[in-house]
Amino acid sequence: MTSIVLFGVFFILLLINVPIAVSIIVATLATMLLTIDTLPALTTLAQRLAVGVDSFALLAIPFFVLSGYLMGQGGIAVRLIEFAKVLVGKLPGGLAFVNIISCALFGSISGSAVAATSAVGGFMIPAMEKEGYSRPFSTAVTVTAATTGMLIPPSNILIIYSLASGGVSIAALFIAGYLPGLLVTAFLMMGAAFYIKRTGIAADSTIEVGKFWPSLFGAIPCLFLIVLIIGGIIGGLFTPTEAGAIAVLYSLVLALGVYKELSVKDLYPILLKTVGTTAIVMFLIGASASMSWLMSYEEIPQAISNSLLSVSENAIIILLIMNLILLAVGTFMDVTPAVLIFTPIFLPIAEMLNISPLHFGIMMILNLSIGLCTPPVGSVLFVGCSIGKVSISKIMKPIIPMYVAMILALALTIIFPEISEFLPKLLGLI
């Protein structure tokens, strides 16, 4: 009964376009009112909204959002693109590869896929069009490649997963994200190469690639940020939150002082955009805090796991079912709410099957990142299409090989936990 009320109210509100966070809270309230008096229920929910975000670890999120904006607009993205050009620009299909590598590089200094889409896409989509690629294909490449930033650290969604999973180490998650992120990057390059070969695009006739050393030197200050942030976190020098503050400071100095591509008055709109993104994510976290409390109180995860385990006791089949559900969820829900809602439901099941919370988190985020590029709801897809100025229906054909690439990378990651667990084990983080 309680789960019918909870999920029923939630889905009805979701369908009529009530913000997800409000849908979660109202559904939780409706369920609580079955057993609890009104005033205590309202007060508990109000308290969860405030206390749910009262965490020093969560502060890393606004910092990585802010540094992402600063890097995107402050000339750092452009230098990473120049560097990517000397790496892969001369290969056949060069600019498509440059786009993918640039997204991965941008992902390795910022934490959000949307930031990567606008920073890299805003530059690469017109550049690719100039070299003879179609706008829809260039957009499809950008939106799928931008999602690698969610796996390649630093990553905001991994911080959120750490919270939702009840404390998997952020440092271990960050390191675990590298290999799967690079795997997706490699598969996306293959997907792009396949599409280019299949459609016979004759492109890159006039591409100019800079010299290796100057481009590398140009990118070194940006690349050093990776060493600073990730090295600092793994080495235990500072917490992810402090690393975020350092990333903000570092990109401020680069953008304002060294590259001089931003002025102090540009900071106001950037700060406001950061507030917007932060508030949206935090409101969802506060809302989900009460819902996941209620679900565990009502033993809803146990009920779901019992019914799943009655279908089969085979770990692979259960994993397959969970992944199919997540793929479906991902098409209509953004990653943040999906992680916050489904981690408390699925993680206990995964642990029963001896899947480590670390591996499960990476798998789940890789899975949900596919949904970010699919209609009807996909924030990265929407941002990419508005930057590429193409309609969603136009990019559906060129994006299919990219979906296939992501799904293959997901399948490999599911089958081989070593892909996510190898590096953290090597560094003694798990």
Residues in touch with another protein (CB under 8 A): 13-22, 25-26, 29, 39, 41-47, 49-50, 53-56, 58-59, 62-63, 66, 114, 238, 241-242, 244-246, 248-249, 267-268, 271-272, 274-276, 278-280, 282-284, 286, 332-334, 336-337, 375-377, 379, 382-383
Sign of CA dihedral 128, 132, 134, 140: negative
State the minimum distance, in angstroms, from the CB of residue 33 to another protein.
10
Give percent helix, percent strand, percent coil of the chain, each to the nearest 5: 80, 0, 20
State the minimum distance, in angstroms, from the CB of residue 71 to another protein.
15
Closest CB to another protein among residues 20, 151: 20
Residue type at position 392:
I
For the chain, the distance separating the N- and C-terminal CA atoms, rounded to the nearest angstrom, is 40
Closest CB to another protein among residues 167, 269: 269
State the minimum distance, in angstroms, from the CB of residue 285 to another protein.
8
Phi, psi of 241 (to 5 degrees): -65, -45
Q: Which structure tokens are listed for 247?
A: 């990333």
State the minimum distance, in angstroms, from the CB of residue 130 to another protein.
28
Do 303 and 344 contact (CB within 8 A), yes or no?
A: no
Closest CB to another protein among residues 99, 241: 241
Closest CB to another protein among residues 242, 351: 242
State the minimum distance, in angstroms, from the CB of residue 117 to another protein.
11
Closest CB to another protein among residues 84, 281: 281
Closest CB to another protein among residues 117, 413: 117
Instruction: Cite the DSSP H helix spans in 93-134.
Output: 94-107, 113-130
> CB atoms < 10 A from the CB of 393, how many?
10
Closest CB to another protein among residues 320, 392: 392
With CA atoms as reference, report the closest residue to 194 among 122, 140, 130: 140
Q: In which residue are the tokens 């992402």 written?
A: 68
Sign of CA dihedral 258, 262, 264, 267: negative
State the minimum distance, in angstroms, from the CB of residue 385 to another protein.
12
State the minimum distance, in angstroms, from the CB of residue 292 to another protein.
17
- 338's CB contacts (< 8 A; 6+ apart) are 326, 329, 330, 368, 371
Q: Which residues of 198-207 are buried (b: 16+ CB within 10 A; e: fewer)?
A: eeebebbeeb
Closest CB to another protein among residues 124, 287: 287
State the minimum distance, in angstroms, from the CB of residue 205 to another protein.
36
Distance CA 132, CA 136 (A): 12
